[in-house]
Structure 1
Amino acid sequence: MNALRNLFKDRTGFPEVVVPLADAPTPPNAEKMSGSDVESNANSLDKASSQEKGAYVPQGDVLTLEGLRAEVESALASSGHDSAYDRKAKIINRAIQDIGMGRYQWELFFVCGMGWIADNLWLQGVALTLTQLSLEFNISESHVRFTTCALFVGLIVGASFWGIASDAIGRRPAFNITLFLCAVFGLAAGGGPNWIGTCALYACLGLGVGGNLPVDAAIFLEFLPFASGNILSMLAIFWSVGNLIASLLAWAYIPNYSCSGAEACTKENNMGWRYLVLTLGAITMLMFCVRYFWFTLYESPKFLVARGRQSEAVAAVQGIAYRNKAKTWLTEEVLNEIGGYPEETEDQTLTYTEVIKRNLSKFSGNQIKPLFATKRLGITTVLIWFIWTCIGMGYTLFNAFLPQYLSSNTTTYETYRNYAITAVVGLPGPVLACYTVDLKYVGRKGTMAVSTMLTGVLLFCFTAVDNPKTQLVCSALESFFQMIMYGVLYAYTPEVFPAPNRGTGSGIASCLNRIAGLCAPIIGIYASSNPSAPIYASGALILVSFVAMLLLPIETAGKQAL
């Protein structure tokens, strides 16, 4: 198995997939583009050029070394960096984009989806254990919500740490370690000795879960052609799958192996939540094994160039072409001709300190300022960050405590059955979003706004009725539209920011989302003694997000990223 997994390491390249630069598939009019057009093309691809296997078909113009050099120089003019590393990174970007969408990207889509599964698997899994933790450890139903705070502390620290660490130690180690940490501490949490110990273990597993989305998203976006950009919305399906798995397992375990409020609760008669957590940990470990042993993840070519491992970077790109049954023009000679030969150019590699400084510089004033370069872009940036903050708090206020809300009017069995039904209904939401985001009169903004509005309205309907069946209908429909909302928002956010500052804009949005999620349980505990108050607040926050979406001045459907 190790020999299979390390097959790539034993090869110096895939010469059978290499073609001369002049014979390489290339977008039409590659040499006739102005500076702004070249920058756009260097960071994204034209949908109309996508052909079978995701490769480009020549349209009369030939990509030459001089033309490629012009593209790179134009792209670097607005990036703020111009070293041998930066030049070679731009060339690698172009080579990967010319290879197009294929088998490697689809397999990567599947294994990256496991990170999305783990994220919601544990977010919902922890929520599903709150009632039983309250009974077993004699914690009030209000204060047991601090358990969710512990998880979010881990999520925030994990997202911050692994986002930087993946640039220092490489994408591949971070890609595997995050899921492994999640699995190990998840299994350990199943044996939590007391409430404080269980919260600590939840926080530790959050360190792994929190790193999944930033690392997985960075890997997937790095290899995804622009023509397949709507697939980003499809990743939310895996988020729904995580919710579904946790819900079905909770329905199977907790009603059958748990105590009720009418009897003394001990570890022996309240094993349901432990069985749930142990099973979730085992599933996470299985996903780690699939990632580690089944899928051959090529290390980030740009990371390899930064570490001075140029031949491995070229072999990685050629490996992607080989897996896709496509061709590539990338060779070390092309890299050296434009980026400089290693023996002649000193700045071929970046030290660990430089890597970290570059990563941290994304959040400096020099990196944030371009997000406000124009009035239109500045308004968009503020609105996007505001939307992510509101939704982060609104989502957690309702979904993280939904089992507690449902249990007030139903039996334990009905509570977890209804939660599972809600998860099933939400599953097809991202699939619908994948098609509506490219409709002419709907687009990203229309899909987001309509689904967000309906989500907020359904939250108020949930609190306005006391009938459990009507509440089930409201929560199920809310789940469906909520998954559409999240799926499109995940795709729209990176598209709307300029490429050189995309990581900064998206990173701040994600950070605000997690911080708001951390604050949500505290608000739910202390804001009001009325159990419906957090749901009202959730609905209001979602509707405020809907208004903000209507004000977004940029529509990205059918357009290249900046």
Structure 2
Amino acid sequence: MATMAEADKKIVTQHDPDVERDMAMTDETVSIDKGDILQLESLDRNLNAKMHLVNNAIDEIGFTRYQWKLFVLNGFGYAVDSLILLIQSIIAGQAALEFNPSYKNGLTIAAYVGMLTGAFFWGMSADVIGRKFAFNVSLLLCSIFAIVAGSSPNWIVLGLFVCLSSFGGGGNLVLDTAVFLEYLPSKKQWMLTLMAAWWGIGQLIAGFLAWGFLPNYSCDDPSVVEGAAPCTYENNKGWRYVWFAAGALVFVMSILRITVIRLKETPKFLVGEGKDAECVETLQAIATKYNRPCSLTLEKLQACGTIERMAQREGKAKWSPSHITVHLKGLFATRRIAISTSLIWLSWTLIGLAYPLYNVFLPSYLGSRGAEFGESSQYIKWRNYTLVNFSGIWGPVLAGWMCQLPFLGRKYTMVVGALVTCIFFFAYTQVRTQTQNVAFTCVVNFCLNIYYGTLYAYTPEVLPSAHRGTGNGLAVSANRVMGILSAVIATVADTSTPVPIYICAALYVVMAGVAAIFPFEPYGKRSS
């Protein structure tokens, strides 16, 4: 016998089909009631309405094994970025002994130039031609050039291949967050912060490779070891083995991306391109494969109307200046979006300068103050390096938990991470022994990644979907420009003065202040 409540439900739904649809939702999809972060910001109401329906569908489907695959294989893209960046710094010294370059910081500049151009190019292409192509190709290019780098006959060629490998790896980083986010149900958006733990895993892999190859297959530095033989190809193959092993690992993972994930174009990109039918097909295919409900239909999307920018660009080539300009203008579509974009780019610029400079100046400064943390044993040196990198994995894990707390959210997780990092940066200047050096480096790496990991996740969350790749790419590009600048400063500046150390630490206070005034808080809302 039907209850009174059921009778009431039948009466209501006879007059309102939308209410009938919403009542059909299961308890697992209550997040459908959440607001979209930018729902009141876009000038295109039709696009807003479509994005809202797509978010509803993703929440309705929920978290499946498909997202787990993305978490692992997209996360490896995070790892590759840090892996390539660290490997070039790890092997630079040994390669320099063999090639005797006139500019020893050349590899660092080459890596950052590659990552700068990669972030800009692949970020822009992700908005113009789609996430799928850039996602599949960028990591494959990175792996090929990383393997070839191990065969370099001289310093200039090595720098070229480091640059080309970084071009693929640095661009891939921009896509990993965008692709993962655009398939995530809102209840799991915190996992975007957690995914930054893969950055530390990449550092850890670099440490293991260095620990495994460099102590046993490297020549001695003649300036340190009296009577050491000159470094040649025959007695200094360790750094080459590191590149071969890293490139092979990245190659395997790039193939797994294509064969295991079989990525479909993201629904939000398809909607932004006016491809409503393909969007519905993609979401329905996932729902069918994992036996989940999905009530989104082509008719519902088309009822929202035509996206304005589709009409504006009709008849124009995808790579036309006007089409590219649309993506740049979209990052400043309203006052709040413009402020948000500017502050995000400022944050990436500040941390891009502060952290590399700190690493450059600290060893010389500590040496001038009498710190003794040199280690003659290559085995112990790379063991300690691995410990430090291992500690960096857990910062984003803690950040993933913190950003779910209502009183912190994403913004104040970054504030806490930046301020705690600043405190330990200042304290680090008092280090005097090897043990203190390792301990403080581990703590700083852990705390820094609370801020860094959250910033990585926050950036794509608050950017408009149609312009997410461009905005994210330019943010990371600003970070890479500062990395290049830090290498130049390290070459020409006095590294024994304490002033740069205090400036770098103070920059983290500025970063905390910037995070506090971000206009959007993603906690409890859905990315647009």
Name the residue aligned to 2:327.
362
Residue 292 of structure 2: SS of its match in structure 1? Answer: coil
One of 216, 232, 253 as aligned partner of 1:287:
253
Task: Say if 2:82 is the partner of 1:127.
Answer: no
Partner deviation per Cα, 1:125-178 (whole Å, 9 max, x = no partner):
1111121122111136xx322211111111111111112223343322211100
* In structure 1, C-alpha distance between the alignment counterparts of 2:209 and 2:124, rounded to whole Å: 34
Aligned residue identity for 1:189:
A
Name the residue aligned to 2:375.
410
Q: Aligned in 2, Cα 1:199/1:257: closer, same or farther, shift over 3 Å?
A: same
Name the residue aligned to 2:125.
165
Name the residue aligned to 2:6.
none
Percent identity among equivalent residues?
36
Name the residue aligned to 2:140.
180
Tell me if structure 2 keeps the 8 A contact 1:135–1:261: yes
Q: Aligned in 2, Cα 1:414/1:402: closer, same or farther, shift over 3 Å?
A: farther
Equivalences for 1:158-237 in 2 at 5 Å? 158-237=118-197
Tell me if structure 1 keeps the 8 A contact 2:131–2:179: yes
Q: Aligned in 2, Cα 1:302/1:351: closer, same or farther, shift over 3 Å?
A: farther
* In structure 1, C-alpha distance between the alignment counterparts of 2:27 and 2:136, rounded to whole Å: 33
Task: Say if 2:113 is the partner of 1:153.
Answer: yes
Name the residue aligned to 2:265.
299
User: Scaled by the length of structure 2, what TM-score is found?
Assistant: 0.82
Name the residue aligned to 1:14.
none
* In structure 1, C-alpha distance between the alignment counterparts of 2:325 and 2:396, rounded to whole Å: 33
Give the superposition deviation at 1:439.
2.3
Give the superposition deviation at 1:273.
0.8
Task: Say if 2:451 is the partner of 1:454.
Answer: no
Task: Say if 2:69 is the partner of 1:107.
Answer: yes
Moved more, 276-285 or 97-106: 97-106
Equivalences for 1:389-538 in 2 at 5 Å? 389-398=349-358, 409-411=374-376, 412-496=378-462, 506-530=472-496, 537-538=503-504
Name the residue aligned to 1:321.
287
Give the superposition deviation at 1:225.
2.2
Tell me if structure 1 keeps the 8 A contact 2:361–2:496: no
Q: Aligned in 2, Cα 1:95/1:450: closer, same or farther, shift over 3 Å?
A: closer
Give the superposition deviation at 1:335.
3.9
Task: Say if 2:351 is the partner of 1:385.
Answer: no
Where does structure 2 lack aligned partners over 5 or more consecutive residues? 1-16, 223-227
Greater RCO (CA < 8 Å, at least 6 residues apart): 2
Tell me if structure 2 keeps the 8 A contact 1:307–1:349: no
* In structure 1, C-alpha distance between the alignment counterparts of 2:431 and 2:343, rounded to whole Å: 33
* In structure 2, C-alpha distance between the alignment counterparts of 1:308 and 1:446, rounded to whole Å: 36
Moved more, 483-492 or 310-319: 310-319
Q: Aligned in 2, Cα 1:469/1:236: closer, same or farther, shift over 3 Å?
A: same
* In structure 2, C-alpha distance between the alignment counterparts of 1:110 and 1:517, rounded to whole Å: 27
* In structure 1, C-alpha distance between the alignment counterparts of 2:280 and 2:519, rounded to whole Å: 40
Partner deviation per Cα, 1:464-523 (whole Å, 9 max, x = no partner):
323111111110111111111111222333445677776665454333222212211111
Q: Aligned in 2, Cα 1:87/1:529: closer, same or farther, shift over 3 Å?
A: closer
Give the superposition deviation at 1:358.
4.1
Residue 334 of structure 2: SS of its match in structure 1? Answer: helix
One of 34, 39, 42 as aligned partner of 1:79:
42
* In structure 1, C-alpha distance between the alignment counterparts of 2:360 and 2:125, rounded to whole Å: 29
Aligned residue identity for 2:334:
P
Aligned residue identity for 2:159:
C
* In structure 1, C-alpha distance between the alignment counterparts of 2:55 and 2:321, rounded to whole Å: 21
Q: Aligned in 2, Cα 1:432/1:398: closer, same or farther, shift over 3 Å?
A: same
Moved more, 444-453 or 148-157: 444-453
* In structure 1, C-alpha distance between the alignment counterparts of 2:54 and 2:449, rounded to whole Å: 34
Residue 318 of structure 2: SS of its match in structure 1? Answer: helix
* In structure 2, C-alpha distance between the alignment counterparts of 1:228 and 1:312, rounded to whole Å: 24
Give the superposition deviation at 1:255.
1.3
* In structure 1, C-alpha distance between the alignment counterparts of 2:429 and 2:39, rounded to whole Å: 54
Give the superposition deviation at 1:422.
0.1
Name the residue aligned to 1:136.
98
Moved more, 126-135 or 355-364: 355-364
* In structure 1, C-alpha distance between the alignment counterparts of 2:361 and 2:495, rounded to whole Å: 15
Tell me if structure 2 keeps the 8 A contact 1:447–1:485: yes
Partner deviation per Cα, 1:49-73 (whole Å, 9 max, x = no partner):
9944xx34999xxxxxxxxxxx99x
One of 216, 240, 256 as aligned partner of 2:216:
256
Q: Aligned in 2, Cα 1:554/1:164: closer, same or farther, shift over 3 Å?
A: closer
Give the superposition deviation at 1:447.
2.6
Tell me if structure 1 keeps the 8 A contact 2:139–2:172: yes
Tell me if structure 2 keeps the 8 A contact 1:154–1:207: yes
Tell me if structure 1 keeps the 8 A contact 2:119–2:474: no
Residue 213 of structure 1: SS of its match in structure 2? Answer: helix
Name the residue aligned to 1:269.
235
Tell me if structure 2 keeps the 8 A contact 1:167–1:356: no
Tell me if structure 2 keeps the 8 A contact 1:240–1:426: yes
Give the superposition deviation at 1:420.
0.5
Give the superposition deviation at 1:252.
1.1
Where does structure 1 lack aligned partners over 5 or more consecutive residues? 1-20, 29-48, 60-70
* In structure 1, C-alpha distance between the alignment counterparts of 2:127 and 2:518, rounded to whole Å: 32
Aligned residue identity for 2:179:
I
Q: Aligned in 2, Cα 1:415/1:104: closer, same or farther, shift over 3 Å?
A: same
Q: What RMSD, in angstroms, separates the aligned Cα atoms of the two structures?
A: 3.8
Partner deviation per Cα, 1:451-471 (whole Å, 9 max, x = no partner):
222323333443432311111
* In structure 2, C-alpha distance between the alignment counterparts of 1:363 and 1:58, rounded to whole Å: 30
* In structure 1, C-alpha distance between the alignment counterparts of 2:511 and 2:267, rounded to whole Å: 38
Name the residue aligned to 1:18.
none
Give the superposition deviation at 1:80.
3.6
User: Scaled by the length of structure 1, what TM-score is found?
Assistant: 0.77
Task: Say if 2:79 is the partner of 1:117.
Answer: yes
Aligned residue identity for 1:98:
E
Aligned residue identity for 1:368:
F
Give the superposition deviation at 1:432.
1.3
Tell me if structure 1 keeps the 8 A contact 2:287–2:293: yes
